Structure 1
Amino acid sequence: MNVQIKGNERIIHMLSDLYHEIRKRNITESRNLKKEIDKQIQGIDNDPNVQLYYALLEFRYQYLIDSLSISKDSFNKIEALGKPSDSLLSYYYYFFKAMHSTITGNYISAKELYEEAEKKLLQLPDELEHAEFYFKLSTFSCHKQQYVLALKQVSMAKEIYAKHRDFELNIGYCDNLYGLTCIHLKEYELAEEYLISALDVFKRLGEEHASLYSRHNLAFLYGSQNLSELAIRYISEVNEKSPNNYKALFIEAREHFKLKNKETANTLIEKALTICGELKNEEFYHRLMILKSMNDNLAANEFENIVLKGIEYFNREELYENIEKYEESLALKYYEEGNTLKASEYFYSSSQSRKKAIEREGLK
């Protein structure tokens, strides 16, 4: 950064140190550095570069501490400061905004932002930053339902981390992401192997925060195989320690729905809906509303109205696996009610969505 004001040099150095600790997923040291920076940050109003640097890392710090507290509005403070001209800050701007778009379910926007950030990444010689970028890009690809691509990207990150000391925690996160991706590919034994390996690393390092990610994904793994009681055992611990985790609430509610624990499922759904409303999270709002409709056993025509609202969002973001699944659920509902014409219509539509999902998986 080309910042010459002597009084800000210490802040700039501390912000750089903070980002290095964030990259290492070192929550304790990141928290300590953030507190120290906050004490000394007064008096930077006359330097827009330092203001923006601080705002960007404040967002990135929040993402580290509690990514599921990120709302649709969490990037507004940064946007109000304008786009940076400094090359490093410009990279951070596009990279962090891509992360924001991913966590808030704006995947088309996230793709464009990641592409712009990757161009700027090429100008940076820091190998560990390349690992950080490709790890996050892999997370995006997994959400975007391009699983083979996600495996390729996380492998790039893990290969770099393995060459450096003190990045065992990051390698654990890579294994956790391998496991999640393998679940989507229905490679369940391999997924369990990776997730347990990651959990072992996190336990050995005393990283309880990281352990929750593996427990969450193990619950998703067991739920994907309809081992609902086992899934609930893992996910309930996550919800106990992270009560505003709307993704974990969704998983636990879905497994209780499968077990016909209607009241428990409804309580979890309502809590998650409240959280998603506050965060303005459109993706999980629709997922939860569809699950609620199924739990409430709505008539097919009422269920259809809820599903179609969700499909409008999923289609916009090109999440064809979700469309396939929900159209099939709707087809089954109409079939159960004896409306074979409507059932046939949605079974066919579901098959077309499946074709789109396969085509999407093949894109690089």
Structure 2
Amino acid sequence: MDQVLPSSHVGVKINEWYRMIRQFSVPDAEILKAEVEHEIKEMEEDEYLLIYYSLMTFRHQLMLDYLDPEVKYRTDRPTIIELLDKIEKPQKTLTGLLKYYSQFFRGMYEFDQKQYVEAINFYRKAEMEIHFVTDEIEQAEFHFKLAEAYYNMKQTHVSMHHILKALEIYDRNPLYTVRKIQSLFVIVGNYLDFKHYEKGLEHLEEALKLSKESGHKRLVSSALYNLGESYHYMGQEEKAETYLKQAIEIGKEMKLRTLPHSYYSLSIVLFKQKKTAEAGQALKEGLITAVKYDDNLFCLLTEFLYVLYAEPINQDSLVEILSKLENIHMYSYVEELTLLTANFFKEMKDFEIATFFYDKMVESQLQIQRGDCLYEY
């Protein structure tokens, strides 16, 4: 008679698998995933451990999608949508740590889809179960993901509160360099929103150094992108252009999903320098990558720049695109685009239209300030 493995043995291995996922150690995570899949077939029946396994498979695929969107690791793997359906079915019966993971991982998925309000709603549901989490790295993960989502919704003070909590834990754990670097990026973004550009640059220098040392080209690209954005905010467009182009080169080499964002920022920097032809080419490349990666947000943003800079100006079309962004609560981009547009018309000496878009900018800032009202309790 074949010996039946105790579920506790498999549970320990799943925990180790999750540890490798959080460290972005793909080879180790792949090995442990294969071992767990083999041992589950020989395990005593345990409904909750099977749910835990399904949740971790979902989290594993989120890691792979982040690191390599070009299907490198996805042969014969279920899709995220298939996995999502699988973990949604037992939702009503979940309690404790499993319920925490189900809500937390779903929030991560919604964030990846740029559904930031939905992401925060799921994170808040996860927070109701966080007292079951005793592992400090998991607590850091939770604070990091909340900070990331709140940053994208321009809830700057809340984001900074959570990211400093996360960074304090990652600093104590040298195996989590990737998350430390990503935490520095969130801090830099918040400093940009606070208009403390020099403080942001200090953190970016450390992030770029750590990224190069770790050999993660994706993170090097992100560091270069953030340097470009910082110099853009400081009005140093030539420096911004240099860093953004470097970020794009790595993005093209690695086929990163951040490419539409990089092209969008580069287009703005080039238009501000009156490099119209080059900016138009960047817009074209950005739209191609946004469509390729099914990035509806950056399709909208690119369309807006086309209407503003590359076509005969149509105010109604600009307002229509802004309305679409407002409908998905992208007020941070509405704020950026309305200021850009107002300044554009101000340069054209069309002060009436400039004033209209300045007013739209103030409206978007008010919506950002009311941001907490978007989230369900």
In the aligned structure 2, how far is the partner of 1:73 from the partner of 1:305? 34
- Equivalent residue runs for 1:138-153 within 5 Å: 138-153=147-162
- 2:39 pairs with 1:25: no
CA distance 1:316–1:362, change in 2 (3 Å): closer
CA distance 1:254–1:180, change in 2 (3 Å): closer
2:365 aligned partner? 354
1:283 aligned partner? 297
Q: Deviations over 1:82-101 (max 9, x none)?
A: 31514222111111111122
In the aligned structure 2, how far is the partner of 1:361 from the partner of 1:109? 13
1:76 aligned partner? 84
Give the partner amino acid of 1:93: S
2:206 aligned partner? 197
Contact 1:220–1:251, Cα closer than 8 Å, also in 2: no
CA distance 1:159–1:335, change in 2 (3 Å): closer
1:214 to 223, 235, 247: 223
- 2:153 pairs with 1:136: no
Contact 1:75–1:97, Cα closer than 8 Å, also in 2: no
Contact 2:108–2:119, Cα closer than 8 Å, also in 1: yes
SS at 2:129's partner residue?
A: helix
In the aligned structure 2, how far is the partner of 1:148 from the partner of 1:276? 31
**TM-fit CA distance, 1:61:** 2.0
With 339-348 and 263-272 compared, the bigger mean Cα shift is at 339-348
SS at 1:122's partner residue?
A: helix
Give the partner amino acid of 1:216: Y
1:232 to 231, 244, 251: 244
2:310 to 296, 299, 302: 296
1:101 aligned partner? 110
With 124-133 and 6-15 compared, the bigger mean Cα shift is at 6-15
Contact 1:330–1:346, Cα closer than 8 Å, also in 2: yes
Contact 2:345–2:353, Cα closer than 8 Å, also in 1: yes
Percent identity of paired positions between Structure 1 and Structure 2? 19
Q: Deviations over 1:165-189 (max 9, x none)?
A: 5334433332232223222333222
Task: Give the unaligned 5+ runs of structure 1.
Answer: none
CA distance 1:332–1:217, change in 2 (3 Å): closer
2:74 aligned partner? none
1:270 aligned partner? 287
1:241 aligned partner? 253
**TM-fit CA distance, 1:286:** 1.9
In the aligned structure 1, how far is the partner of 2:10 from the partner of 2:310? 54
**TM-fit CA distance, 1:197:** 0.3
With 210-219 and 65-74 compared, the bigger mean Cα shift is at 65-74
**TM-fit CA distance, 1:121:** 0.7
CA distance 1:126–1:283, change in 2 (3 Å): same
In the aligned structure 1, how far is the partner of 2:130 from the partner of 2:21? 18
Contact 1:253–1:268, Cα closer than 8 Å, also in 2: no
CA distance 1:325–1:176, change in 2 (3 Å): closer
Contact 1:218–1:234, Cα closer than 8 Å, also in 2: no
CA distance 1:18–1:215, change in 2 (3 Å): farther
Q: Deviations over 1:319-352 (max 9, x none)?
A: 3332233334454566678876554333323223
1:181 aligned partner? 190
- Equivalent residue runs for 1:310-349 within 5 Å: 310-317=322-329, 319-331=330-342, 341-349=352-360
In the aligned structure 2, how far is the partner of 1:75 from the partner of 1:288? 32
CA distance 1:322–1:202, change in 2 (3 Å): closer
**TM-fit CA distance, 1:266:** 3.5
In the aligned structure 2, how far is the partner of 1:131 from the partner of 1:59? 20
Give the partner amino acid of 1:293: V
In the aligned structure 2, how far is the partner of 1:168 from the partner of 1:332? 40
Task: Give the unaligned 5+ runs of structure 2.
Answer: 71-78
**TM-score normalized by the length of structure 2:** 0.79
CA distance 1:194–1:74, change in 2 (3 Å): farther
CA distance 1:196–1:336, change in 2 (3 Å): closer
2:51 aligned partner? 52
In the aligned structure 2, how far is the partner of 1:211 from the partner of 1:307? 36
1:305 aligned partner? 317
